Amino acid sequence: MMPAVIQDNLDYLLWGNLAGGEPGGLLLTLLLSLAAALLASLLGLALGIAQLMGGAALRRMLTAITAVLRAIPVLMLIFWCYFLLPLLFGVDIPGLLTVILALALIHSAYLGQAVLAGLTAVGRGQWHAGLALGFSRWQTLRWLILPQALRIMLPSFINQWVSLLKDSSLAYIVGVAEFTFVATQVNNREQVYPLEIFSAIAIGYLLLCGLLQLAGHLAERRWRRTA
pLDDT at 80 over 90: no
Q: Report how many helices (DSSP H) and strands (DSSP E) the chain contains, helices first.
A: 11, 2
> Which band of pLDDT confidence, cut at 50, 70 and 90, is reported for residue 227?
low
Other CB atoms within a 10 A radius of the CB of residue 128 amount to 11
CATH topology of domain 31-182: MetI-like fold (1.10.3720)
Q: Where are the domains of the chain?
A: 31-182
Residue 22's DSSP bridge partners are: 17
pLDDT at 93: 84
Residue 56, pLDDT above cutoff 90? yes
What does the alpha-carbon distance between residue 98 and residue 187 come to, in Å, rounded to a whole number?
Answer: 26
Longest distance between any two alpha carbons in the chain, whole Å: 71
Torsion-angle region of residue 21: left (phi > 0), alpha (psi -120 to 50) or beta? left
Q: Is the pLDDT of residue 226 over 70?
A: no
pLDDT at 85: 82
pTM over 0.95? The answer is: no
pLDDT digits (tens, 9 = 90+) for 176-191: 999 999 999 999 998 8
| Gap between the Cα atoms of 13 and 192, Å rounded | 17
What DSSP assignment string belongs to 20-65?
Answer: GTEE-HHHHHHHHHHHHHHHHHHHHHHHHHHHHHS-HHHHHHHHHH
pLDDT of residue 157: 96
Query: Rounded mean pLDDT of the chain?
Result: 92
